[in-house]
Amino acid sequence: MDGFTLTNSQYAGNNPRPDDNLNFDDPVQTSFSLQNTSFSRALTIDQTINIPEDEELQDSKFEVVLKLSDLQGDPNSPLYSIKKFEELGLSEDLIRGIYFMNFRRPSKIQERALPFLLANPPRNMIAQSQSGTGKTAAFVLAILSRVNYELHTPQALILAPTRELARQIMGVIQTMGQFTKAESQFAIPMMVTWGKVFTAHIVVGTPGTVLDCIRKKWLPIDNIRVFVVDEADTMLDQQGMGDQCIRIKRSIPTAAQVLLWSATFPSTVVAYAEQFAPRATTLSLEHHELTVVGIKQMYMDCGGEEDKFRVLTDLYSVLTIGSSIIFVKRRETADKIHQRMTAHGHKVACLHSHIDNPGSARDTVIDDFRFGKAKVLITTNVLARGLDVATVSMVVNYDLPTDVNNNPDPQTYLHRIGRTGRFGRVGVSISFVHNRQSWMDLCAIADYFNVPMLRVPADDIEEVESVVKKVLKAGPPKTGDSMEISRHAGANRR
């Protein structure tokens, strides 16, 4: 099975959203109470894990040997390609950048998308590919190929939902484009020089600040020829950000190539995305193709809301793995867990989008995490998407992701767990369930992706440690390999 479905949408419609005057940069944090319905502890999924019981682990680092060449030679892997970068029509300067980054072969999305992205006349594109499969590099390469370096004015505009993601994308542009004459500039809070007109070829920003800079005429947009919306499904779907994206799109030249990227494009957003990027070439995936095989999905059955904290601290008192991220629903929960884990002697960092948390403080937290100064990061959905830190080997869903209507949110779940298992690496995700509602939410997510969830015991942390270590030690499975599983979680809901 090759994965992508390729379609050319012919639809060119009007913008469907009202022009509300909302102005914020980060995703809205939704808050609500978890429903404590009668809790069934009787989760009896009988799952087994068939990882060889061979050697004991040598150390606690779990440096997984990346067998990338194996994965990239497996037609079922999202990292598979038949072409080399040298065959994709990129300039020598860019090929040098790719070599510098140690990329050997393109991933499937890179191989598929790049010929369309570079073709003339330029076409819009809606591109979907699993988390951690190199979407950023794909659109950065396209932009670096299209920019006229002799013209000192913005020609490419990239929108990201958070400052963390904008900073990360900037890092990729600067590394990949270091042998070109590309100049790039931020349009994110606290990184814009008051009154100074942008002259860089490439601008990366968050929608609120970009719009602000356009309105103030600091950001010239007449020469924009590539317009990228990363994490496009969430950007377009959120009322404030969606409106800002529309306004920005209306300001830039109509001939600009519009590129929408995400690992998820739920059906509710697809039509809208097609209106936003008319007549786009679309690379899409089915639900069941979205999960990354290198991420082993587990769950723990906790005794109640308060017991989750006991399980978490038990887990961290035993487990010594690379880096990990704990996702919670609310900022208050993040702060509370941060305080309590710190009091228990754990070294943890915390990042969310509270107004008192200025950009510079957020930058320090994320940089400390990226460079390993802090190994555990507690956060909200603000970091659910895009964050690329290779050492993350575990994601904990302390609270399962739910949408504004309290329904399970499979897309956010997929993005959260996708912070591990990047580009062929292995990782584990552990979701806490603590009542009937959270159990049903997890079942709904498992059903949506048709994936197995392995139960690990909340009252036997040594056993959890052993399972996690085995998974990390086993390395990435080949696509289609069944690492375990007799039945998946959704098959046995109560």
Ligand X SMILES: Nc1ncnc2c1ncn2[C@@H]1O[C@H](COP(=O)(O)OP(=O)(O)OP(=O)(O)O)[C@@H](O)[C@H]1O
131 scored as a contact of ligand X (CB under 6 A):
yes
Q: Which two tokens stand for residue 227?
A: 């317009």
Distance separating alpha carbons of residues 108 and 215, to the nearest angstrom:
39
Q: Which stretch binds ligand X (CB under 6 A): 53-61, 102-110, 301-309, 448-456?
A: 102-110
Residue placing its CB nearer to ligand X in the complex, 285 or 341:
285
Q: Which stretch binds ligand X (CB under 6 A): 30-38, 50-58, 124-132, 474-482?
A: 124-132
Q: Which stretch binds ligand X (CB under 6 A): 44-52, 209-217, 369-377, 415-423?
A: 415-423
Among 132, 189, 421, 476, binds ligand X (CB under 6 A): 132
Among 9, 77, 124, 136, binds ligand X (CB under 6 A): 136
Q: Which two tokens stand for residue 326?
A: 């704990």
Which are the contacts of 357, defined by CB distance < 8 A and separation ≥ 6?
351
Among 3, 122, 134, 242, binds ligand X (CB under 6 A): 134
Query: Of 326, 367, 328, which Cα lies nearest the Cα of 348?
Result: 326
CA angle 36, 40, 45 (to 5 degrees): 130
103 scored as a contact of ligand X (CB under 6 A):
yes
Q: What residue has token string 């010929």? A: 115
| Smallest separation, CB 405 to ligand X (Å) | 25
122 scored as a contact of ligand X (CB under 6 A):
no
418 scored as a contact of ligand X (CB under 6 A):
yes
Binding mask 252-291 for ligand X (x = CB under 6 A): -----------x----------------------------
Distance separating alpha carbons of residues 105 and 183, to the nearest angstrom:
26
Among 301, 388, 399, 441, binds ligand X (CB under 6 A): 388
Q: Which stretch binds ligand X (CB under 6 A): 30-38, 50-58, 104-112, 478-486?
A: 104-112
106 scored as a contact of ligand X (CB under 6 A):
yes
Q: Which stretch binds ligand X (CB under 6 A): 19-27, 31-39, 49-57, 127-135?
A: 127-135
Q: What is the number of other CB atoms lying within 10 angstroms of the CB of residue 153?
A: 16
Among 137, 383, 430, 442, binds ligand X (CB under 6 A): 137
Beta-bridge partner residues of 295: 427
Q: Which stretch binds ligand X (CB under 6 A): 197-205, 386-394, 401-409, 444-452?
A: 386-394
Alpha helices per DSSP H over 124-266 = 135-146, 163-176, 207-215, 232-237, 239-251
Distance separating alpha carbons of residues 407 and 413, to the nearest angstrom:
12
Distance separating alpha carbons of residues 437 and 185, to the nearest angstrom:
45
**Widest Cα–Cα separation across the chain:** 67
Distance separating alpha carbons of residues 280 and 443, to the nearest angstrom:
34
Q: Which two tokens stand for residue 19?
A: 């022009």
Residue placing its CB nearer to ligand X in the complex, 388 or 465:
388
135 scored as a contact of ligand X (CB under 6 A):
yes
Assess contact for 1 and 270: CB atoms under 8 A: no
Where on the chain is the footprint of ligand X (CB under 6 A)?
101, 103, 106-107, 110, 129, 131-137, 263, 386, 388, 390, 418, 422-423
